[in-house]
Amino acid sequence: MEALPASTLNDLALGQLNEFQSESQSAQGVYLLIYDGQPRYIGKANNVKDRLSQHLTKLSGRRHIDLEALTYKVLLLDKSMSTAANEDILIGLFKQQYTAMWNGAGFGPKDPGKERDTTKPGKFDRQHPIIDDYPVSICPDEDGSLPLGQVLASMKSQLPYVFRYEVPSDELIKKISVAEVTHVARDLLQAVVSHLGTGWRGAIISYGMVLYQTNKNYPHGIELNP
């Protein structure tokens, strides 16, 4: 792994990796994420290209990350070789030498789930919080309104971090005015919460945003109320 040259983590390089995986008929393996020249994360995947794409998307929504400083190395493994065992070996070796590794710091999970909404953020999330003013593209009508469901769907598909919500279907078809709302995630979420009214709460948490009809408190997040 150390002898391999590092590749830039971008769409072009991942496209080339995808082609190589197809040609070699091998997609599983272990990989090393490198940031600013320093090893940061060892992982395994059944499809390495897809997992690296997920990491790139996630990191694009985090503060204090320079995407141009991201590189990676990959070892594709034969199906007879255990990715889990090789991942464990590499993590043990690299963490001995590099103390700033993201393994064990909360970087890996795709969506930690509801039970993590109210828990203390891991080291990675504290150092690299989400970009809560991430731009969202929406197309309101001439009067500045559009269906609530369209706003939420646009946010979920465009935000590079977790956005979970549970809104009844009869509310989703109602229109919401966004004429005077900046089209960024935090302001749109606040507008939605205010539109839905009493009993609804949004929250900006360590790894994303949530929206529920609830009285739950988010001690480690930023609550948005009507």
The whole-number mean pLDDT for each consecutive block of 10 residues of the chain, a chain of 226 residues, reads 94 97 94 96 95 97 97 89 82 91 88 79 94 98 97 98 97 97 98 98 96 96 97
| Pair 170, 92 in one domain | no
Final residue before a domain boundary, out of 39, 67, 97: 97
Residue 106 lies in a domain: no
What spatial distance separates the first Cα and last Cα of the chain, rounded to whole Å? 52
| Pair 23, 87 in one domain | yes
What CATH number is given to the structural domain containing 71? 3.40.1440.10
CA distance 48 to 28: 6
The 8-class DSSP code of residue 62 comes to B
Final residue before a domain boundary, out of 52, 68, 97: 97
Matching residue, tokens 């598909």? 157
The range of the structural domain enclosing residue 66 comes to 7-97
pLDDT value for 145: 97
pTM of the model: 0.91
Contact 28, 77 (CB under 8 A): yes
Residue 1 lies in a domain: no
* Alpha-carbon distances of 150 from 39, 114, 145, rounded to whole Å: 40, 23, 10
| Pair 20, 87 in one domain | yes
Residue 104 lies in a domain: no
Residue 109 lies in a domain: no
| Pair 45, 119 in one domain | no
CB atoms within 10 A of CB 99: 6
Q: How many domains does the chain have?
A: 2
Burial of 37 per CB tally in 10 Å (0-12, 13-18, 19+): exposed
| Pair 84, 174 in one domain | no
Six token digits for residue 100? 């700033």
